[in-house]
Structure 1
Amino acid sequence: MKKVLILFGSKSWKTKGPFSDLKYQSCYENLYSLASKNGVALYRASYQWYDHKNNIFKYAWTFKNGVWERASEIKPDLIYDKTSFRMETNLFKEKISENYPIINDPLFTSIADNKFITSLLFPEYSKRCYLLTSSADLKKSTALIKGTRIVLKPLSESGGKGVQIIHKKQLESILIKQPLLAQEFINSSNGIVGIMKGTHDLRTVFINNKLIYSYIRQPKKDSLLANLAQGGTMFIIKNNQLPKSIFPVFKKVASTFSQFENTVYTIDFMFDKSQKPWIIELNSMPGMYFPKEEEKCMEKTYLELIKLFKNA
């Protein structure tokens, strides 16, 4: 049976179990059970548990017979990377990649998850980003960005972390402590014609450039950030409901990254008042969570992922 290790961030081995959030635990239990039925043994480990001298993972969690079990001295056939962008994490991944194949390729991840780079790769579908390293940069970019509001965001974070939507009159109070991006605010309050009304973003999920599923995220009351991690809600839509205007974007992204094999990524969109789609970001590590009412979509996605693991 092929061994695939799902690589995560910093984590203590002394915890009672691998998860603190039961809803995510339930989804992963479904994934591990489905993988086992299809000839793939899944393991879960922190990058900190990798012993580069002996080329093994000292510890890992696995799910068998309805129970999470501890495992040791794991030598997987493949790594599925689910770590967040951190300098320390990247150094560990470099060492791991010398001995194990990784999905996604770390180079692909570094490109796709960098919002500044992707804005340059897809300028016709992206609002221009301005790189800020000082208050002077912020002042210059503000004069060039249309509208009364401006979006400030980190280069590589996901889940809406660090994103600020600021009125230009408030920018004098902003301190630039790390590199940030400034971008024009997109007013998505008209929704997506024929699908939904109101502020939103649309996430489309791909495995090996194949569109697997799509869902709308809407922000909680009095918020403009639709990410689930920020309290937003989601509902899945059928692929045949998607606006035709985003399909050329799919082709462009697939073509741009065609030299990379075995890819998993998302493209997030907002539609402005004229219904033009704009890329908000790409994400090389889509979440694994599905609500209970979307079990069919969950199983379809997990089976595609398992197929990728088996063929990689």
Structure 2
Amino acid sequence: MLERKTDGKSNLVVLFKEGKLMSYPFSSKDYLESYRDFFKVAEKRFAIFIIRGMSKYRGDGVFTGGFRWNGSNFVRHHGRIAARVVYNKGRLVADGGAHWAIINVSELHRISRYKDLTHKIFPKLMKRGYRIYSRPQFLRALKKIQSQKAVFKPVDGFAGQGIIIKEKDKLMTSLRRFNGLLEEFIDTSQGVPGLTPSYHDVRMTIMDGKLVQCYIRVPRHGSLLANVARGGSLHEFSPRRLPRTARHIANLVDKRFKKYGHRVYSVDVGYEGSKPFLFEINDQPGVPHKKWERFYREWHATLLGVLLAADRDLR
């Protein structure tokens, strides 16, 4: 049997996409600071390893080559690393095994990553969306869109990349390809009472069914994209101010996801008038920045609790 502990502590692998050690997200000072603070707490219970990319994966939760967190820095590790718990921030699609666990399992990962699957699983929570592959399919789907504006997005995009929002009669001229998802526009211009007066999206971060963080993102002037990576601003708020209708959507999503075991993800919704609609689900929410004081320590502590619970379930 593979040894999945180091110095008496279970091996925790944090898997990121391909790149150098200090590639994204560590290239961001805010993210690096947050991960360091999390590792300082988690190292009391785990031996922590950083892996960059699927090229290091050998199957069955085993990796070769990476970096070990030594309490203050990252030290290159040349040997084999057999994980007990994998925190997947990369492209690994797996379900764990008898002796190792992954956050999140493959089906939750797919539903969250592929926007057409999100529509298929949660059609009553979302505006109309159509999977398209060609110009003729785009034109047929566009006729079914009832909003004045339409949204084109990549099926597996993130951070707002590749999303185009235009008046229906102007959208086609902005597209370089037709392989993606065509959606009705959610007009959030009336805002959310008590939170914002105009365009927005509301994000709720869920860990094993617990609402850990909620904040509202507002687009920069002249934009309809609220992603912080696209210039939007972020404002945390107390869960007590979260509208019950938004929390209801999060509860419905988690009811479906509960069967997938230990889980970490976020739910984005937007209000059109008084009705919320699901924008998307993100199974790899970013760690909080230290300047976002409201949920910083709780976020780290709750994530550690999820990882420890996954580890305990293996025993």
TM-score by shorter chain over 0.5? yes
1:47 aligns with 2:70: no
Q: Contact between 1:113 and 1:283, CA under 8 Å: does it hold in 2?
A: yes
Deviates more, 1:130-139 or 1:58-67: 58-67
Give, as a single letter, the amino acid of the residue that structure 2 aligns with 1:10. Answer: E
Q: Contact between 2:94 and 2:105, CA under 8 Å: does it hold in 1?
A: no
Q: Indicate the residue corresponding to 2:250 in structure 1.
A: 250
Give, as a single letter, the amino acid of the residue that structure 1 aligns with 2:206. Answer: F
Deviations along 1:199-243, one digit per CA (max 9) or x if unpaired, are 110000000111111011111221111111112111111111111
Q: Indicate the residue corresponding to 2:282 in structure 1.
A: 283
**Aligned residues with identical type, % of pairs:** 26
Give, as a single letter, the amino acid of the residue that structure 2 aligns with 1:297. Answer: F
Give, as a single letter, the amino acid of the residue that structure 2 aligns with 1:129. Answer: G
Q: Which secondary structure does the structure 2 equivalent of 1:196 belong to? A: coil
Equivalents in 1 of 2:262, 2:18: separation in Å?
25
Paired residue for 2:70, among 64, 67, 83? 64
TM-score, length basis structure 2: 0.87
Q: Indicate the residue corresponding to 1:86 in structure 2.
A: none
1:20 aligns with 2:27: yes
Give, as a single letter, the amino acid of the residue that structure 1 aligns with 2:298. Answer: K
Q: Contact between 2:151 and 2:185, CA under 8 Å: does it hold in 1?
A: yes
Deviations along 1:44-67, one digit per CA (max 9) or x if unpaired, are 111345252897422222333422
Equivalents in 1 of 2:195, 2:23: separation in Å?
43
Aligned length in residues: 301
Equivalents in 2 of 1:54, 1:166: separation in Å?
45
Q: Indicate the residue corresponding to 1:8 in structure 2.
A: 16
**1:97–1:139 CA distance, 2 compared to 1 (3 A):** farther
**1:172–1:163 CA distance, 2 compared to 1 (3 A):** closer
Deviations along 1:104-160, one digit per CA (max 9) or x if unpaired, are 001210122222122222222200101111111111121111232110011122211
Q: Which secondary structure does the structure 1 equivalent of 2:67 belong to? A: strand
Structure 1, unmatched stretches of 5+, are 84-88
Q: Indicate the residue corresponding to 2:114 in structure 1.
A: 114
Q: 1:188 Cα shift? A: 0.9
Give, as a single letter, the amino acid of the residue that structure 2 aligns with 1:3. Answer: N
Q: Contact between 2:209 and 2:254, CA under 8 Å: does it hold in 1?
A: yes
1:300 aligns with 2:307: no
Q: 1:42 Cα shift? A: 2.1
Q: 1:70 Cα shift? A: 2.0
Structure 2, unmatched stretches of 5+, are 1-8, 311-315
1:159 aligns with 2:167: no
Q: Contact between 2:16 and 2:52, CA under 8 Å: does it hold in 1?
A: yes
Q: 1:174 Cα shift? A: 4.4
Give, as a single letter, the amino acid of the residue that structure 1 aligns with 2:39. Answer: Y
Deviates more, 1:114-123 or 1:58-67: 58-67
Q: Contact between 2:135 and 2:178, CA under 8 Å: does it hold in 1?
A: no
Q: Contact between 1:52 and 1:95, CA under 8 Å: does it hold in 2?
A: no
**1:178–1:96 CA distance, 2 compared to 1 (3 A):** farther
Q: Indicate the residue corresponding to 1:212 in structure 2.
A: 212
Give, as a single letter, the amino acid of the residue that structure 2 aligns with 1:288. Answer: V
Deviates more, 1:67-76 or 1:214-223: 67-76
Q: 1:252 Cα shift? A: 1.6
Q: 1:21 Cα shift? A: 2.0
Equivalents in 2 of 1:138, 1:217: separation in Å?
30
Equivalents in 1 of 2:292, 2:95: separation in Å?
40
Equivalents in 1 of 2:266, 2:253: separation in Å?
10
Q: Contact between 2:95 and 2:106, CA under 8 Å: does it hold in 1?
A: no
Q: Contact between 2:220 and 2:232, CA under 8 Å: does it hold in 1?
A: yes
Deviates more, 1:127-136 or 1:44-53: 44-53
